[in-house]
Amino acid sequence: MTKQELQKALEPIAQGLFGKQGARRYERPHFPLRSLETMVKDLTEIPQEEWFSYVFSREPLNGKFQDDQRRHWMEQSIACGREYGRRVCKEYGCSTPKELARAMGMKVTYPAYPEKTDRVLFAEFREPNDIRIYMDGVKKAKKLLEQPGIYGILGGAGCR
């Protein structure tokens, strides 16, 4: 080994001894950026029935169930919601949320923010007839819908 090769081999040790660690700095991973429009489009292409694992992810008893049970319950809940929605609209003779709430004797309020909560809350129902729609979520959603392409993707979502 030549003198130069020895110096080069010992250089990291010497730098460490004299305070020059030469440690690599953390570098954040680089991922290609995806537009919000692309992400929303990808998410809306997932059939409702396939959201079962996400839907159950916060369920305290989630670990007690099998995927086929979760999927079955998700399919049943979607079918139940659609059927009940048709029945209620037929019973009250109206189909818009505002008309239905009025016909059912609901009091709808629009507070700016939910009270005392550490979670995201868009709306809630409180017994006996109080529906609260929190405007901070509405404003955020409106801002998203103003972005090019987003309204076109979500505009008809959920309407049947």
Residue 5 in any domain: the answer is: no
Same domain assignment for residues 110 and 95: no
In b/e form, how buried is each residue of 121-149, taking b as 16+ CB within 10 angstroms?
A: eeeeeeeeeebbebeeeeeeeeeeeeeee
In a domain, 27, yes or no: no
Dihedral (Cα; 12, 17, 20, 25), 10-degree rounding: 70
Tell me, yes or no, whether 96 and 128 share the same domain.
Answer: no
pLDDT tens for residues 43-87? 999 999 899 999 999 888 888 999 999 999 999 999 999 999 999
For the chain, list residues with pLDDT below 50.
Answer: 157-160
Judgement on whether residues 44 and 90 belong to the same structural domain of the protein: yes
Question: Does one domain contain both 39 and 99?
Answer: yes
Are 98 and 125 contained in the same domain? no
How many domains would you assign to the chain? Answer: 2
Same domain assignment for residues 87 and 138: no
Answer yes or no: do 40 and 71 share one domain. Answer: yes
Residue-range definition of the domain harbouring residue 91? 35-103
Identify the pLDDT of residue 159. Answer: 37
**89 shares a domain with 136:** no
Task: Provide the residue count of the chain.
Answer: 160
